[in-house]
Amino acid sequence: MKTHRTISWVSTFWVSTSWVSIRWIRAAGCLAIFAASMVVAQEPKRPLAETGPEPSPVSTPSKLELESCIERGIAFLAESQNADGSWGGPTRTKELNIYAPTPGAHHAFRVGTTALCIAALVDCRDYSYRSDALIEKGEAWLLEHLHSLRRANQTALYNVWGHAYGIEALTRLHTYHEGDAAKQKQLIDEIEHQIDLLRRYETTKGGWGYYDFEVGLQRPAAEPTSFTTATVLYALHRAREIGAEVPQVLIDRGLEVIRRQQRPDLAYLYSEDMWANPGMDVNKPGGSVGRSQACNYVLRLYGDKSVSDAAMLAWAKRLYARNLWLDIGRKRPVPHESWFLVAGYFFYYGHYYAALGLEQLPEEVRPEMQDHLAHVIIRLQEKDGSWWDYPLYNYHQPYGTGFALMTLVRCARD
């Protein structure tokens, strides 16, 4: 009996002391977790837009390799220029082609393609003795046909791209004709005419899109797209820099469109109507990586503080670290059929605006980013010297080459 009581007492003591010990252990654990959380809380948390994947290191291309690619690209433009000075045409390159009501859609495609080729040739003028002849022949065609560019019908607004890239080409030609006041005035006059057309084709929500299925209104009621709006705003910035009159209200409304479509991580919605579904694949970083380069660059260009240096760098790195998301969509014949709903025509477009954004990156990281850009573009040059990302009648090789050349020339270092 005594033994039983002793065992009971010992058991009770052990249980009670164990329970106390467990309480102390739990309390100590809670204190440790609390202390750790206080330490973490003291560390500044990086904004989501400033974080992202790191690309693997790449080598620096030699000056000879870079120059050779540029020269081959110029040679392709020389061989593919039409007899009338333009580039591209309505030749069918596949069974399935995007909606393109004739003749207006093809007029817009040819204007935009020719403008990109001219812009590239002016940027790369120092790399080939043939550039001047190609530029002047292309300029004559552009000045004759750009003035009459309009939308194809109520629904197809591809002309917006022609107005924007037309302005880009004309601003470069303005520099090309330095010292010729009469020619420069002609170019300014045409630029201001194009700006007036962009005013007419601005959507009722501000900014620009390239489809309008809300038929019946004189002014487009289309959903503005973030990247089309960014493209136009860059052209308007260039126009203002050379003295053209640009209505501030167009800029203000366009910037607001881009801001409305900006996610906290600086991915951008494809278009305004996706505001209720920002998590759709095309709006995620993987789907936006080509478009975000243009949107971030343009916001910074106009002094917007929402895109920090660290964010610009993080998105530039994302373009290289996640380049496969864009590359999987390259050359696919159907728009948005790839992962993250990426379309092929995001590819060289995105790299071009990344190249423009190099000037906004901290100086110490620019060489590394230039090497990454050059690495992507050089390895994708075709045997005939061209670059292309999406089969579009017969416009894809010239426009792809134009984008690629303007990208590569910004990777060159002294």
pLDDT mean across residues, the chain: 90
CA distances from 175 to 112, 122, 241 (A): 20, 9, 11
| Across 124-136, average pLDDT | 95
Give mean pLDDT, residues 279-306: 96
State the pLDDT at residue 30: 47
H-state helical runs in 43-179: 63-80, 104-123, 131-145, 159-176
Cis peptide before 90 (omega within 30 of 0): no
pTM equals 0.88
Instruction: Provide the pLDDT for residue 40.
Output: 44
Distance of alpha carbon 224 from the chain centroid: 16
Helix (H, G, I), strand (E, B) or coil at 172: helix
Dihedral sign computed on CA atoms, order 23, 25, 27, 33: negative
Give the pair of three-digit tokens for residue 131: 């550039």
pLDDT of residue 43: 52
Q: Which of 8-22, 92-106, 282-296 has the lowest mean pLDDT?
A: 8-22
AA letter at 281: D
In this prediction, residues 35-41 reach a mean pLDDT of: 46
3-class state of residue 413 by DSSP: coil
Least confident of 104-108, 152-156, 398-402: 152-156
pLDDT band at 8 (very low <50, low <70, confident <90, very high): very low
Cβ neighbourhood burial of 198 (10 Å; 0-12, 13-18, 19+): buried
Q: What is the pLDDT of residue 91?
A: 86
Quote the CA–CA distance of 149 and 200 in Å, as a whole number. Answer: 12
Alpha carbons 403 and 400: distance in angstroms, whole number: 5
Mean per-residue pLDDT, 258-280: 95
The one-character DSSP state at 363 is G
**Cβ atoms within 10 Å, residue 65:** 12
Select the more confidently predicted residue: 2 or 281: 281
Q: In the structure encoding, which two tokens stand for residue 367, read together?
A: 């060489």
Task: Name the residue type at position 170.
Answer: L
Residue 35 has pLDDT above 90, yes or no: no
Checking if the pLDDT of 3 tops 70, the result is: no
Reduced to 3 states (helix: H, G, I; strand: E, B; else coil), residue 276 is coil
> Does residue 248 have a pLDDT over 70?
yes
9: number of Cβ within 10 Å:
10
Q: Does 247 score more than 60 pLDDT?
A: yes
Q: What are phi and psi of 225, to 5 degrees?
A: -100, 145
Among residues 254, 170, 238, 230, the alpha carbon closest in space to that of 354 is found at 230
Cβ count within 10 A of residue 35: 10
Residues 102 and 100: their CA atoms lie apart, in Å, by 6
Domains for the chain: give ranges and CATH numbers. Answer: 48-411 (1.50.10.20)
Does the pLDDT of residue 32 top 70, yes or no?
no
